[in-house]
Amino acid sequence: MAEGEYVPVPHDHEAFLEHARKRKGFSEAYDGLEDEYALVRELLAARAQAGLTQEEVATSMGTTKSAVSRLEGAGQHSPSVSTLKRYAEAVGCEVEIRLVPARRRTGEIRRRLAMGERLRVERVHGGRGETK
């Protein structure tokens, strides 16, 4: 292996979760950040697939390695769509954003809309809007 060559560190996320969920309070905290962790897994997988270091991604994005590190850290902040697009381009990907029906609330929302009720999103928590 050439000096400085990027070699991804293997990580068995399911085994990690199985072990970590045994700790008091972990499941509640982790589940509260489910969307953030899903995004981080996507980012890390894309960078690993591209075989790039954080430094290489940062150079391509026109930012710093520490900024890429923060982007890849769950729960630290929510990146803008433009930042995600720049990251995706740097690792040879595209960003795809979709809104999908919430599994448990779809029936209630349809019923209320059928009754002519106008819904408004009052707040967003964890990527899921709560309707009133």
Average pLDDT, the chain: 81
Kindly list the domain boundaries of the chain, sorted by start residue: 13-90, 100-132
The total of other beta-carbon atoms located within 10 Å of residue 70's CB is 13
Q: Which CATH class is domain 13-90?
A: mainly alpha
Rounded alpha-carbon distances, angstroms, from residue 104 to 109, 110, 130: 10, 12, 12
pLDDT per position as a tens digit, 23-62:
999 888 878 788 888 899 999 999 999 999 999 999 999 9
